[in-house]
A = this chain, B = another copy of it.
Amino acid sequence: MKTVKNAVGRDIPTELEGRKLKPYKGLFKNPPRGRKAGGYFGYVKPGDKKLQPSLEDAISACGLKDGMTVSFHHHLRDGDYVVNMVMKTIAEMGFKNMVVAPSALFPCHEPLVELIDQGIIHSIEGSVNGPIGDAISHGRMKGLSILRSHGGRVRAIESGELKIDVAFVGAPTADDQGNCNGLHGKSACGFLGYPVADSFYARKVVAITDNLVDYPALPIQISADYVDYVVRVPSIGDNQKIVSGTTKIATDPQKTSIAQAALELMIHAGMVRNGMSYQAGAGGISLATTKFLGDYMKANNIVAAWMDGGVTEHLIDIYKNGNCKAILSGQSFDVASVQDMLTNPDHVAITPNYYANPWNKGCLVNILDTVVLGATEADIDFNINVNTHSDGRLLHGIGGHQDTAAGAELSIMMMPVFRKTNAIIRDRVTTVSAPSHSVDAIVTDYGIAINPARKDLLKKLKGTPLKLVDIKELRDIAYSEAGKPEEPEYLDRIVSAVQFRDGTYLDVIRQIKE
CB atoms of A35 and B38 under 8 A apart: yes
CB atoms of B219 and A348 under 8 A apart: yes
Stretch at the interface among A281-289, A351-359, A452-460: A351-359
CB atoms of B39 and A36 under 8 A apart: yes
Q: Give every chain B residue within 8 A of A345 (Cβ-Cβ).
A: 218-219
CB atoms of A218 and B326 under 8 A apart: yes
Q: Give every chain B residue within 8 A of A39 (Cβ-Cβ).
A: 35-36, 158
Q: Give every chain B residue within 8 A of A28 (Cβ-Cβ).
A: 43, 45
CB atoms of B32 and A348 under 8 A apart: no
Total interface residues on A, CB under 8 Å, equals 63
Which chain B residue has the least Cβ–Cβ distance from A228?
A: B361
A4 contacts chain B at the CB level, 8 A cutoff: no
Neighbour of A362 across the interface among B50, B353, B354, B408, CB < 8 A:
B50
CB atoms of B306 and A205 under 8 A apart: no
CB atoms of B328 and A178 under 8 A apart: no
Neighbour of A225 across the interface among B32, B218, B219, B354, CB < 8 A:
B354
A144 contacts chain B at the CB level, 8 A cutoff: no
State in angstroms the CA–CA spacing of A306 and B42 once bound together. Answer: 24
A367 contacts chain B at the CB level, 8 A cutoff: yes
State in angstroms the CA–CA spacing of A353 and B41 once bound together. Answer: 11
Q: Give every chain B residue within 8 A of A361 (Cβ-Cβ).
A: 42, 44, 178, 205, 224-228
Would you give the 0/1 interface string for A449-484, flagging 1 where the beta carbon is closer than 8 Å to chain B?
000000000000000000000000000000000000
A17 contacts chain B at the CB level, 8 A cutoff: no
CB atoms of A326 and B216 under 8 A apart: yes
Most chain B CB inside 10 Å of its own CB: which residue of A31, A177, A362, A407: A362
A86 contacts chain B at the CB level, 8 A cutoff: no
Would you give the 0/1 interface string for A164-180, flagging 1 where the beta carbon is closer than 8 Å to chain B?
00000000000001100
State in angstroms the CA–CA spacing of A346 and B42 once bound together. Answer: 27
CB atoms of B359 and A223 under 8 A apart: no
A60 contacts chain B at the CB level, 8 A cutoff: no
State in angstroms the CA–CA spacing of A325 and B37 once bound together. Answer: 38
A21 contacts chain B at the CB level, 8 A cutoff: no
A363 contacts chain B at the CB level, 8 A cutoff: yes
Residues of chain A having any CB pair with chain B under 8 Å:
28, 31-32, 34-48, 50, 158-160, 177-178, 205, 214-216, 218-220, 223-228, 275, 305-306, 325-326, 328, 345-346, 348, 350-351, 353-354, 357-364, 366-367, 407-409
Known: A227-B361, A227-B362. 5 other contacts (CB 8 A): A35-B40, A44-B362, A48-B362, A178-B361, A216-B326
* 6 tightest Cβ-Cβ pairs between the two chains A and B: A42-B361, A32-B41, A35-B38, A44-B362, A36-B38, A225-B360
